[in-house]
């Protein structure tokens, strides 16, 4: 069973309440998404640590229920 885009967004926002989250279904199959997450919480963190925070927010669903996530993270300007 695939995850819905709004469920992915809600999980990220629950872990990073100050984040702006945009989810795009890349293949139209509910299984391959792109996420753009912009959060002040990422300030001073490496890109790897930023991505780790997002993956942790998804509670281990990557590679299982959530097959693929193209992730872009940034700090607000």
Render pLDDT for 19-61 as a digit per residue (tens, 0 to 9): 999 999 998 877 789 999 999 999 999 999 999 999 999 988 8
Residue 49 has φ and ψ, to the nearest 5°, of -70, -35
What domain range includes position 26?
A: 5-74
Mean pLDDT calculated for residue range 9-22: 97
Q: Residue 30 maps to which CATH number?
A: 3.30.300.90
In terms of Cα–Cα distance, which of 19, 73, 76, 66 is closest to 48?
73
Q: How is residue 3 annotated by DSSP? A: P
- Determine the Cα–Cα distance for residues 12 and 55; give it in Å rounded to an integer: 9
CB atoms within 10 A of CB 74: 13
Domain count, the chain: 1
């Amino acid at each position: 069973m695939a995850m819905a885009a709004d469920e992915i967004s809600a999980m990220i926002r629950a872990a990073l309440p100050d984040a702006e989250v945009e989810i795009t279904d890349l293949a139209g199959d509910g299984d391959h998404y792109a996420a753009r997450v912009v959060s002040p919480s990422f300030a001073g963190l490496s890109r790897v640590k930023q991505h780790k925070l997002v993956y942790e927010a998804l509670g281990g669903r990557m590679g299982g229920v959530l097959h693929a996530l193209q992730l872009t993270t940034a700090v607000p300007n």
